Structure 1
Amino acid sequence: MNLTEAVRTGLAELADPAKAPAMRAYMKSELPFRGVAKPARQRLARRVFAEHPLPDLRSWRATVLELWHGARYREERYLALDLTGHRAYSSWQGPELLPLYEELIVTGAWWDFVDELAARRVGPILRAAPETTDPLLRRWARDADRWKRRTAVICQLGSKQDTRVGLLEYCVEANIDDPDFFLRKGIGWALRQHARVDPEWVRRFVRAHPGLSPLSRREALKHLEGNHGVHR
């Protein structure tokens, strides 16, 4: 039994058909669910990844794509994402993986997949290799695909003091007029997160951009209102 088979067998054994419909409805998923909650999925991932180590980058990438594109249940894609972030393969994380993550972002096309990839895969690669990744994300910020644009906006959620402010500003401004809910929410989220590091910068940015949607503005200033808030 290979890793893909072990994942599918393990999910089948953990399946809870009574929970599956509600999980599918909440996520508005085309793929059905097995009904396996996140803690059980994580335990399964730890076990099967340890039992089926992958010898090289080529086999790791092939397994990720096999789980992803061959998924019959949404949890299989969650395990594929877990595999991309497994610590045993952390040394392979670099700009050469961005085409893989782009493929998962575009074909996943929903917030549960995209947000994990943006913040926990693309973001760390940006911090490690900004010279290569920054220009790519600037192109993504203006791409026709809204999920690549959302990725560009929110990929620095974990950057803290290492946030590339010029990139954040560029990606937000590129999408400031877009009516899409996920982009507006993402803009607010990205600004709110940066406000933990530099609240004055976020206040100035909001003041300077009256075209921000009410949703983006509200999210950006969520923890900054009061005597020092931004006034229109």
Structure 2
Amino acid sequence: MKPASIAIFELVKTTLHEHKNEENARAMEAYIKHLFPFLGIKAPIRKEAVKSILAELKREKKVDWDFVDLCYQQPEREFHYTACDHIRSCQRYLQQGEIEQLKKLITTHSWWETVDTLAVEVGVIAAKFPTVKSSHIQQWITHEHMWLRRVSILFQMRQKEKTDTAFLTNVIESNLGSKEFFINKAIGWALRTYGDTNPEWVIEFCDNHALAALSRKEALRKIV
């Protein structure tokens, strides 16, 4: 653990605790079914409070994984969000091997709001290093950890015309019949997003597959 990372984390910790709001915390905890405690700092205030600190971290032109780990060791959700914000700010510097660190985060303190943020970063790595689809993400398609399956469905959502439709088809077909809300929602969301680029493909896909009602509704919501 680098001393510099510890020092920056301690500064973030002090800064966030200075903005603690117990009334907000109760509402925020209720929103995510009391899965995690909150300090009660709404996103705009949180981001502004640590903006200069994260900007300093970004100057290194790489993700500080020690800082990220320290944030994820904290129980309060705002620290997890701050770690994700740091990764997002450095996404252009992400390297192929860092898919392993992202996998660790996806399976730690997992819920949709951090998982979906991390799915974007997985997509960034996959776009730069396509072999991670076969070396890593392929194994997530039917993984016992539901949130890894969700990421395997969603990671291409910003690829537009570069979407690997064969991979998308495989991951959806491999998860047909799931009763899991977050999987069926992800299938529909991924199809709807690709529908902005290729609506004909999405319509044909929906016609040829027995999608869950939720998935079909989400997929076609903007098309028909």
TM (norm. structure 1) is 0.89
Alignment of 1:90-109 (within 5 A): 90-91=92-93, 93-109=94-110
2:170 and 2:38 map into 1 onto residues whose CA distance is 38
Instruction: Give the equivalent residue in structure 2 for 1:228.
Output: none
SS in structure 2 of the partner of residue 157 of structure 1: coil
Alignment of 1:132-211 (within 5 A): 132-209=132-209, 211=210
On the 8 A contact 2:184/2:212 being kept in 1, the answer is yes
SS in structure 2 of the partner of residue 107 of structure 1: coil
Instruction: Give the equivalent residue in structure 1 for 2:117.
Output: 116
Instruction: Give the equivalent residue in structure 1 for 2:74.
Output: 71
Residue 17 in structure 1 maps to residue 19 in structure 2: no
Provide the alpha-carbon RMSD of the alignment. 1.8
2:82 and 2:130 map into 1 onto residues whose CA distance is 28
On the 8 A contact 1:125/1:133 being kept in 2, the answer is no
Query: How far 1:141 sits from its partner (Å)?
Result: 0.5
2:58 and 2:160 map into 1 onto residues whose CA distance is 33
Paired amino acid for 1:109: S
- Structure 2 residues not aligned, in runs of 5+: 1-5
Q: Deviations over 1:56-84 (max 9, x none)?
A: 85x8111111111x213110110011111
Residue 39 in structure 1 maps to residue 44 in structure 2: yes
Q: Deviations over 1:26-73 (max 9, x none)?
A: 01243211110111111123211234567585x8111111111x2131
Q: CA 1:155–1:173 in structure 2 vs 1: closer, same or farther (change >3 Å)?
A: same
Paired amino acid for 2:159: S
Paired amino acid for 1:178: S
1:13 and 1:187 map into 2 onto residues whose CA distance is 40
Query: How far 1:185 sits from its partner (Å)?
Result: 0.2
Q: CA 1:191–1:14 in structure 2 vs 1: closer, same or farther (change >3 Å)?
A: same
Residue 220 in structure 1 maps to residue 219 in structure 2: yes
TM (norm. structure 2) is 0.92
- Structure 1 residues not aligned, in runs of 5+: 226-232
On the 8 A contact 1:187/1:216 being kept in 2, the answer is yes
Runs of 4+ displaced beyond 6 Å: none
Q: CA 1:20–1:99 in structure 2 vs 1: closer, same or farther (change >3 Å)?
A: same
Q: CA 1:202–1:52 in structure 2 vs 1: closer, same or farther (change >3 Å)?
A: closer
Q: What fraction of aligned residue pairs are identical, expressed as a percent?
A: 32
